[in-house]
């Protein structure tokens, strides 16, 4: 109980209040249990001040450090591209070299990736779009230039959490810090950046993000290439595995220190890697592509690596965006919990879900004629499995993902789905005798429950909500309900059909309006689909905070129907 009280030293009122609630809900036995685990599941967009993200910093508070990645149409790079072309497609090779030489004649200085791509598209967009993913990444990586100081030392991206312009991001980061300090007086966090195609580029940011007052952190070079090299005892093939497994090239030229760290870890073997993980207080998984990080957890046959269990058992696990989606897995009473990997709501409603690899972001139908960039895909066997209550989804309300998660629940026979909004964290605290959830940050968490083929139960838990497991699922704690704010008087919703409801976060806005007006029904439309929202005798509304999305919703019914089902 004394250790848990450390959390109450938070500087912001919001999560001080949350922890006061948690303190009253947890038993001393549960809190003191060494097997207790805390999951901090962030929905993405953890707006953070860094030398490469000036817009996220308070005025006059941008830290010194690397400002951008640099690229150049240099003769040396073009010759290397021609000499080491990664595929047998000679047409693409010839056309690419021709394009690069012409671009070099008009742009000799180093430029950003964005400017490089704009130049190339203006010159020959069809040629650029015709490259395979492997060819595209090879060319871009080979054109990249190291960012160094006058002494030829690599300039790193630096992070300044204290200068964040977004208070909700600080709230989440402070929550992470407090959670780790409950576990030990000398917390140490590891950052795994395998969700990025280029995990070496992301290492500076996440290592800096986790270097907090009283907490040490380090980047763990657990990449898909390293996982395969360690498993096969072939550290001599690390460079080859980088190209084959990750489509990453020329990194030893751009991030030599990170490549050296990866090789050193490989040489020490699997047992040493397990020991590093087991000595840590917690691990953070970055955003990007959860399918990439899954490659560092399971081999090609789907068997867990020697270190996977050690990762699952860390006292604190943190994910953001893809790193949160990765936590779905394991088994519950409905069977294996899948991991979502791609898709839009409209595509999900039209075509359903596919239990296959996510499609290419660049090339339509790269994984088969039935798939495109919008297809809903999932990994049936799940991810890390630290969260087995149901399926996790991220960037939820902002990217209008309610229908895609509802479709996946139906396709996989899972009852519960959890959609976490941006700059928001769903915190899950478990012990052998207790479980609870709470919401920290800017917005809220959507809880979906599968009902019929067309409808789902929709609940919304705003920041500050505490959620308890029940016999049939999850519900707001009585403490949250008792501390709700008084209703406010606003005009009733108009009796109209709201168009384009699955765009621009409109579904969240409509459900919040229903909550504030105590509405019984509303209707919207997205393309050919009707969306009916209805209150039932089980539906309840509670205004938990005064924010824009501060109204808690319990058990609203949302039904999607098409012309053929009406």
Which residues carry out catalysis? 321, 395, 422
Q: Assign 7 to helix, strand or coil.
A: helix
Distance CA 44, CA 425 (A): 9
User: What is the rounded radius of gyration, in angstroms, for the C-alpha atoms of the chain?
Assistant: 24
Distance CA 357, CA 222 (A): 21
Residue keyed to tokens 């249990």: 33
Distances (CA, A) of 154 to 18, 189, 432: 42, 24, 47
Tokens of 498: 């709201």
CB 383 within 8 A of CB 339: yes
Tokens of 63: 């830290």
Distance CA 333, CA 481 (A): 29
- Enumerate helices (H) and strands (E) in the chain, giving the number of each: 19, 25
Q: What is the DSSP string of 47-65?
A: ---BTTBGGGB-TT-PPSS
Burial 497-513 (b: 16+ CB within 10 A, else e): ebeebbeebbbbebbbb
- CA nearest neighbour of 251 among 196, 188, 305: 196
Tokens of 553: 């919703």
Q: Are strands 376-379 and 353-354 parallel, antiparallel or unpaired?
A: parallel
Residue keyed to tokens 């790269």: 366
Beta strand extents in 196-338 (DSSP E only): 216-219, 282-285, 316-320, 331-332, 335-336
Q: Give the containing element (helix H, strand E) for 514.
A: helix 506-517
CB 294 within 8 A of CB 380: no
Q: Which residues contact 422 (CB under 8 A, 6 or more apart)?
A: 43, 44, 45, 394, 395, 396, 397, 398, 442, 443
Tokens of 137: 């990444």
State how far Cα 225 lies from the chain centre.
Answer: 21
Q: Torsions phi, psi of 122, nearest 5?
A: -65, -35
Distance CA 313, CA 317 (A): 9
CB 316 within 8 A of CB 354: no
Q: Torsions phi, psi of 126, nearest 5?
A: -65, -40
């Amino acid at each position: 109980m004394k250790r848990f009280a450390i959390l109450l030293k938070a500087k912001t009122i919001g999560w001080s209040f949350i922890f006061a609630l948690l303190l009253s809900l947890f038993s001393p036995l549960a809190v003191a249990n060494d097997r207790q685990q805390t999951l901090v599941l962030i929905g993405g967009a953890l707006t953070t001040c860094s030398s490469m993200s000036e817009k996220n910093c308070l005025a006059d508070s941008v830290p010194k450090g690397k400002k951008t990645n640099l690229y150049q149409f240099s003769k040396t790079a073009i010759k290397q591209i021609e000499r080491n072309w990664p595929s047998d497609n000679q047409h693409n090779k010839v056309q690419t070299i021709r394009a690069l030489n012409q671009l070099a004649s008009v742009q000799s200085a180093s430029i950003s990736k964005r400017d490089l791509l704009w130049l190339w598209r203006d010159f020959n967009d069809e040629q650029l779009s015709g490259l395979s993913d492997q060819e595209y990444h090879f060319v871009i990586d080979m054109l990249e230039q190291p960012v160094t100081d006058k002494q030829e030392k690599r300039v790193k991206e630096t992070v300044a959490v204290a200068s964040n312009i977004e208070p909700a991001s600080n709230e989440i980061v402070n929550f992470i810090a407090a959670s780790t300090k409950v576990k030990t007086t000398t917390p140490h966090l590891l950052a795994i950046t395998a969700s990025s195609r280029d995990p070496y580029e992301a290492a500076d940011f996440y290592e800096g993000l986790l270097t907090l007052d009283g907490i040490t952190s380090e980047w763990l070079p657990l990449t898909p290439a390293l996982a395969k090299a360690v498993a096969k005892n072939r550290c001599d093939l690390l460079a080859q595995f980088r190209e084959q497994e990750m489509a990453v090239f020329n990194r030893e030229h751009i991030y030599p220190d990170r490549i050296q760290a990866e090789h050193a870890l490989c040489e020490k073997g699997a047992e040493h890697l397990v020991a590093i993980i087991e000595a840590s207080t917690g691990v953070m998984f970055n955003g990007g592509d959860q399918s990439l990080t899954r490659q560092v957890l399971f081999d090609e046959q789907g068997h867990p690596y020697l270190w996977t269990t050690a990762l699952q058992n860390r006292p604190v696990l943190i994910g953001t965006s893809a790193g949160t989606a990765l936590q779905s897995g394991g088994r519950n009473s409905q069977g294996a919990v899948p991991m979502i990997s791609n898709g839009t709501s409209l595509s999900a409603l039209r075509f359903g879900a596919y239990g296959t690899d996510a499609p290419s972001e660049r090339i339509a139908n790269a994984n088969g004629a039935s798939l495109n960039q919008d297809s809903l895909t999932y990994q049936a066997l799940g991810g890390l499995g630290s969260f087995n209550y149901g399926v996790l989804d991220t960037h939820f309300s902002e990217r209008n993902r309610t229908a895609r998660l509802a479709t996946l629940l139906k396709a996989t026979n899972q009852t519960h789905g959890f959609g976490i909004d941006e700059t928001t964290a769903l915190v899950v605290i478990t012990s052998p005798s207790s479980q609870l959830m709470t919401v920290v940050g800017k917005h809220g968490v959507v809880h979906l429950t599968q009902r019929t083929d067309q409808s789902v139960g929709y609940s919304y838990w705003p920041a500050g909500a505490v959620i308890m497991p029940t016999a049939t699922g999850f519900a707001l704690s009585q403490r949250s309900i008792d501390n709700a704010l008084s209703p406010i008087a606003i005009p009733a919703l108009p009796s109209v059909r709201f168009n384009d409801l699955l765009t621009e976060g409109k579904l969240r806005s409509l459900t919040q309006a229903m909550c504030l007006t105590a509405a019984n029904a509303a209707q919207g439309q997205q393309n050919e689909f009707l969306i009916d929202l209805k209150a039932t005798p089980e539906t309840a509304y509670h205004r938990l905070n005064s924010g824009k999305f501060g109204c808690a919703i319990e058990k609203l019914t949302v039904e999607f129907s098409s012309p053929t089902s009406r």
